[in-house]
Copies of this chain bind each other. A is one copy, B any other.
Amino acid sequence: MMRKMLSWGVAAVLTVLSIQAKEPVDWVNPFIGTTNFGTTNPGAVTPNGLMSVAPFNVMGSDLNQFDKDSRWWSTPYDNTNSYFTGFSHVNLSGVGCPELGSLLVMATAGKLDVDYRNYGSSYSDEHATPGLYGLTLDKYGIKAEATATTRTGRIRFTFPEGKGNILLNLGEGLTNESGATVRRVSDTEVVGCKLMGTFCYNPQAVFPLYFAMRVDRKPAKQGFWKFQRPKKGVEAEWDVDDAKYKLYPDFGKTISGDDIGVWYTYDTKPGEIIEVSVGVSFVSEENAMLNLNTEQPRDITFDKIYADVRKRWNDDLSRIIVEGGTDDQKTVFYTALYHTLLHPNILQDVDGRYPAMESNAVMSTDGNRYTVFSLWDTYRNLHQLMTLVYPERQLDMVRSMVDMSKEWGWLPKWELFGRETFTMEGDPAIPVIIDTWRKGLTDFDMDAAYAAMKKSATTQGKDNPMRPDNDPYIEKGYIPLGYFAGDNSGDNSVSHALEYYVADNALAWLAEERGEKDFAKELRKRAAGWRNYYSKESGTLRPINADGSFLTPFDPRQGENFEPVPGFHEGSAWNYTFYVPHDIDGLSKVMGGKRQFVDKLQKVFDEGLYDPANEPDIAYPYLFSRFKGEEWRTSKLVGELLAKHFTTKPDGLPGNDDTGTMSAWAVFSMMGLYPDVPGVPEYTLTTPVFDKVTINLGDHPLEISKVSDGKNSIMLDGKPARHRITHSELMQSGRLQFHVNE
């Protein structure tokens, strides 16, 4: 591996690195989270890059434990699987719904076979590091390595002697959409388009992925394939290709269909290398080619591309330098940080063009337009991490969100390549934008943002796609069972309302700030609406029937392990009851006071009612620190959860990484602070894992350190601090010191 230490940009890092044996990028293990439903993958990708090139091993063989077609399956790769069928281009990391994972590029040796049930292979020598993934295909003796630029992928295949084949499968992939078209541009290039979408049960959120593919050597032969629609009767008898993969060796123009592909065959010498480059665009085929030609000029080598992406990763990861801690902790930390930098993604092409939100228009930007906003997840901590460590990136992300509202009329909820998928609930863009603003990143169009926030907070009736149950929410202060779904099955009413409370709490601040005092008051009143749901009988939040009575009978444990439960989305009442982060005092009071609150919260952990694998309760451990004398519980629990659920193994994430949200939890927790109220610029502190954490913020490095001197106190810039500090306190001090008794 090339190491260009002297060319690094951040001078401060150099000092540290000259001492350390490993650079930050070297600590990353991309296999973490690649089983146990972490749904990360070890593919090659740049920081927040549009392109990722991932190994695809979830179809075609019973040897695989997990198969994309035999269950709900949302990742191109699982570490326990063993049958490789190619590299998928453009992938999601850490999501819970099948999407993308297409443009499958495979190499085989010997006779051409385009059926993935036949052409896949087991593999060995698997290895990955940021920006590079490699393996050897046992069946063919082919070595394959992948790397990436922002918008393109590059694969280097090393063939044995004989016949070598390159396949581009456009029929299969993770996405549940289908249908592609591909056109030969030259002997070594094709362009095309495949439809993607239907993410998370939304059949209409579809979008085209345009691509350009180039092989670096003219093949001996080439062609297309297409699986033939089964015909009936004599037509089937007369058609030699009926219901089979038909090869088209003589036709080289445009082919389209549900299940098509492109093949190249070569006569290969031993060790012969053939490289495949793929560029993508969400604008057009022409732009896919433009991206490819711009980011991979003809003479650029695989090694150069990899050196560049490695440097970019190391630069990004070096924004935080940790010292102390075990090697495993460093691996967990830098891998988690790596995971937080996979989404959102750069959307615009090299010429600045991108698909407008929810329209067919193509727009242009000078800056970075981001996409893939899984906001129900990321509004809790990932954007706070970006704000703290990568503020310029967070600002572009907020600008992108605000631009979406200008283009479409609404802020995003779960935006995916220009489409709103309406996945999960709430109005999470509001706390993200306000949180960012309140932390001093204000160089965006807040007037437009506020208008869009107000629109979703106040629009009633059927015309509000962001808050479909805004009517009862505004009128009653809560959402009764059955309003949205029509019946209790699939009803997530309490979850919806809890999200609106958090959003409206954040928005109240902004309304007040903008002088809209009545609206601010109304919003504050709304944000207190959670009280409607508190049942003294169950001691939890509890769904409310249409007549205002509580749902009865009621089991607050129902909903564990994703079992269906009325009122709550992906969780039990226990996973949601403490999710009133803006009003923990109020919640404590209705529960009977601090003692009762603390005991009940502790019970959640002691009795296995805590779900570390989903978002609603992930800030629970930090709630103890709201109460003087109970802060030790936070540090103890966070330490235990980190140790148990965040490891260096492939199953080292508790569940879906949720586009980096789980990893952001780990990053914050390991550094010693956590933003537990989205929209409120404060952190709850916890004992860091490392002796020293340096966040390199240009002129103002932020230093968090741990001193085991038995003092059990926290010092901010040398002065005693509480376990909860504001963002400005943190930034102004620059030095946070934990004195602990470890």
Contact = CB atoms under 8 A, between A and B. Distances in A.
Interface of A: 69-72, 176, 178-181, 184, 193-195, 198, 201, 203-204, 206-208, 226, 228-229, 231-235, 238-241, 246, 248-260, 355, 358, 360
A233 B70 contact: yes
A250 B360 CA distance: 10
Contact of A249 (B72, B204, B259): B204
A176 B233 contact: no
A223 to B, nearest CB: 10
Contacts of A206: 248, 251
A260 B229 CA distance: 13
Contacts of A260: 179
B240 A180 contact: no
Nearest to A258: B258
Nearest to A418: B253
A614 to B, nearest CB: 20
A371 to B, nearest CB: 15
A183 to B, nearest CB: 8
Given A179-B256, A181-B181, 6 more contacts: A176-B235, A184-B360, A203-B240, A203-B241, A206-B251, A208-B254
Nearest to A209: B254
Contacts of A241: 203
A201 B72 contact: no
B180 A256 contact: yes
A249 B360 CA distance: 12
Contacts of A235: 69, 71-72, 176
Contacts of A239: 176, 198, 203
24 contacts: A69-B232, A71-B233, A72-B234, A72-B235, A72-B238, A176-B231, A178-B228, A178-B229, A179-B255, A179-B258, A180-B256, A181-B254, A193-B254, A195-B254, A195-B257, A201-B238, A204-B249, A204-B250, A206-B248, A208-B255, A229-B259, A250-B358, A252-B360, A256-B257
A108 to B, nearest CB: 23
A423 to B, nearest CB: 14
A3 B714 CA distance: 99
Contacts of A360: 184, 252-253
Contacts of A203: 239-241, 246
A178 B251 contact: no
Contacts of A193: 181, 254, 256
